[in-house]
Amino acid sequence: MSDDNSEIDGSDEVEIDGTSGFSTNFEKTDLDNEESNQGLFDDLLSGEPIFENKEVLRPSYTPHELPHRSDQINKMATILVAALRGETPSNILIYGKTGTGKTASAKFVSKELESTSQKYSVPCDVEYINCEVTDTQYRVLAQLANKFIEKNEERIDARVADLESLLEALDEYEADLEAREREAAESTDLADDQTASDPFDFVSDDPPESISDDSSGDDSSLESGGSPPERKGSSDPADRSSPTDETDQGAGDDTDRTDGDSTDRRAGDGTGDASAGDSSTHPSDHPLESTSFEDREAIEAEIDELEADKESFEEVPMTGWPTDRVYSVFFDAVDYDERVVVIMLDEIDKLVEKSGDDTLYNLSRMNSELENSRVSIIGISNDLKFTDFLDPRVKSSLGEEEIVFPPYDANQLRDILEHRSDVAFQGGALSDDVIPLCAAFAAQEHGDARRALDLLRTAGELAERSQAETIVEDHVRQAQDKIELDRVVEVVRTLPTQSKLVLFSIILLEKNGVHSINTGEVFNIYKRLCEEIDADVLTQRRVTDLISELDMLGIVNAVVVSKGRYGRTKEISLSVPLEETEAVLLSDSRLSDIDDIQPFVQARFEN
Strand, helix or coil for residue 342: strand
Looking at 56, 66, 109, 363, which residue binds ligand ATP (CB under 6 A)? 66
Looking at 76, 80, 89, 102, which residue binds ligand ATP (CB under 6 A)? 102
Q: Is 96 in the site for ligand ATP (CB under 6 A)?
A: yes
No. of H helices and E strands in the chain?
27, 7
Binding mask 488-527 for ligand ATP (x = CB under 6 A): ----------------------------------------
Strand, helix or coil for residue 133: coil
Q: Fill in the amino acid letter for 109.
A: V
Shortest CB 403 distance to ligand ATP, Å: 12
380, 419 Cβ separation under 8 angstroms = no
d(CA 106, CA 348): 14
7, 20 Cβ separation under 8 angstroms = no
Query: 584: which strand partners?
Result: none
- Nearer to ligand ATP among residue 103 and residue 387 (C-beta): 103
- Nearer to ligand ATP among residue 265 and residue 451 (C-beta): 451
408, 443 Cβ separation under 8 angstroms = yes
Q: For 100, which DSSP code?
A: S
Binding mask 226-265 for ligand ATP (x = CB under 6 A): ----------------------------------------
Residue 387 annotated as lining a ligand binding site = no
- Nearer to ligand ATP among residue 100 and residue 134 (C-beta): 100
Closest CA relative to residue 124, chosen from 310, 292, 334, 316: 334
d(CA 533, CA 597): 12
Shortest CB 481 distance to ligand ATP, Å: 21
Residue 18 annotated as lining a ligand binding site = no
Q: Which stretch binds ligand ATP (CB under 6 A): 98-106, 287-295, 437-445, 521-529?
A: 98-106
- Nearer to ligand ATP among residue 102 and residue 266 (C-beta): 102
Residue 424 annotated as lining a ligand binding site = no
- Nearer to ligand ATP among residue 102 and residue 139 (C-beta): 102
d(CA 406, CA 379): 16
Q: Looking at beta carbons, which residue is closest to ligand ATP? A: 101
d(CA 525, CA 527): 5
Angle, vertex CA 36, rays to CA 34 and CA 39, nearest 5? 90
Q: Is 379 in the site for ligand ATP (CB under 6 A)?
A: no
- Nearer to ligand ATP among residue 69 and residue 374 (C-beta): 69
- Nearer to ligand ATP among residue 109 and residue 503 (C-beta): 109
Q: What φ, ψ does residue 588 adopt, rounded to 5°?
A: -75, 130
91, 364 Cβ separation under 8 angstroms = yes
525, 533 Cβ separation under 8 angstroms = no
d(CA 524, CA 213): 111
d(CA 514, CA 55): 46
Strand, helix or coil for residue 51: strand
Q: Is 406 in the site for ligand ATP (CB under 6 A)?
A: no
Other CB atoms within 10 A of residue 522 CB: 28
Entry field: residues in the chain: 607
Q: Fill in the amino acid letter for 513.
A: G
Q: Is 287 in the site for ligand ATP (CB under 6 A)?
A: no
Residue 250 annotated as lining a ligand binding site = no
Shortest CB 151 distance to ligand ATP, Å: 25
Q: Fill in the amino acid letter for 520.
A: G
Q: Is 99 in the site for ligand ATP (CB under 6 A)?
A: yes
Q: Is 59 in the site for ligand ATP (CB under 6 A)?
A: yes
β-bridge pairing 374-381 and 568-574: unpaired
Strand, helix or coil for residue 430: strand
- Nearer to ligand ATP among residue 185 and residue 456 (C-beta): 456
Residue 104 annotated as lining a ligand binding site = yes
Looking at 68, 231, 265, 414, which residue binds ligand ATP (CB under 6 A)? 68
Shortest CB 381 distance to ligand ATP, Å: 8
Distances in whole angstroms, Cα of residue 119 to Cα of each of 83, 115, 116, 123, 313: 13, 6, 5, 10, 28
Q: Which stretch binds ligand ATP (CB under 6 A): 67-75, 423-431, 455-463, 486-494?
A: 67-75
Residue 581 annotated as lining a ligand binding site = no
- Nearer to ligand ATP among residue 271 and residue 382 (C-beta): 382
Size of the site for ligand ATP (CB under 6 A): 19
Shortest CB 73 distance to ligand ATP, Å: 9
303, 163 Cβ separation under 8 angstroms = yes
Q: For 535, which DSSP code?
A: P
d(CA 101, CA 361): 27
Q: Is 457 in the site for ligand ATP (CB under 6 A)?
A: no
- Nearer to ligand ATP among residue 450 and residue 527 (C-beta): 450
Q: Is 91 in the site for ligand ATP (CB under 6 A)?
A: no
Looking at 124, 144, 303, 416, which residue binds ligand ATP (CB under 6 A)? 416
Q: Which stretch binds ligand ATP (CB under 6 A): 64-72, 224-232, 266-274, 586-594?
A: 64-72
Shortest CB 170 distance to ligand ATP, Å: 51
Q: Is 458 in the site for ligand ATP (CB under 6 A)?
A: no
β-bridge pairing 556-562 and 568-574: antiparallel
- Nearer to ligand ATP among residue 99 and residue 237 (C-beta): 99
Q: Is 453 in the site for ligand ATP (CB under 6 A)?
A: yes
> CA torsion, points 239, 242, 247, 251, in degrees to nearest 10?
60
Residue 232 annotated as lining a ligand binding site = no
- Nearer to ligand ATP among residue 449 and residue 547 (C-beta): 449
Shortest CB 100 distance to ligand ATP, Å: 4
Residues in 306-365 at the binding interface with ligand ATP, rule: CB under 6 A: none
Binding-site residues, please?
A: 100-104, 408, 420
Which residue positions form the known binding site for ATP?
100-104, 408, 420
Residues binding ligand ATP (CB under 6 A): 59, 63, 66-69, 96, 98-104, 382, 416, 449-450, 453
